[in-house]
Amino acid sequence: MIKVEWHGQRVFEAIPPSGNRFIMDAYPESGGQNKGPTPMEAFLTSGAACSAMDVLQILEKKRQKVTAYSVEIEGERLEEGPYPRPFTKLVFRHIIEGVDLDVGAVDQAVRLSDEKYCTVIATLREAPLVTSTFEVKCTKK
């Protein structure tokens, strides 16, 4: 279970089972203080990191020497207007540098991550059922 605690205004702290906490915030124009990524930025970042970790592990097994690696994510959203404004398309661009990299090995690693190993991307594709519940705790004046 991941817990998300409010720290005032639009600042929230995520507390995952690993104990590696991080802060999320809103843009200043939406009442935030710019203390961390927005929830959508954190969401997209998790997909990029998940896939990149897979790709690196696959390339290491193929004895490919990676010297630099980044992932850029571009998303298309519904036009400004009523909420929600979900992404309708995501493109993960892997930029990999290395010594004598085998293009076929890189292609296979990216494909395997995208189609088989990355749990975040697989979850996006499955469009899981999402439900919400609530609990109210009242204090006495």
The CATH superfamily of 38-141 is: K homology (KH) domain (3.30.300.20)
pLDDT at 61: 98
- Whether the CB-CB separation of 95 and 136 falls below 8 Å is answered with no
| pTM (2 d.p.) | 0.87
Q: Hey, is 135 helix, strand or coil?
A: coil
pLDDT at 109: 98
Low-confidence ranges of the chain (pLDDT < 70): none
User: 44-75, pLDDT tens digit by residue?
Assistant: 999 999 999 999 999 999 999 999 999 999 98
Domain extent listing, the chain: 1-36, 38-141
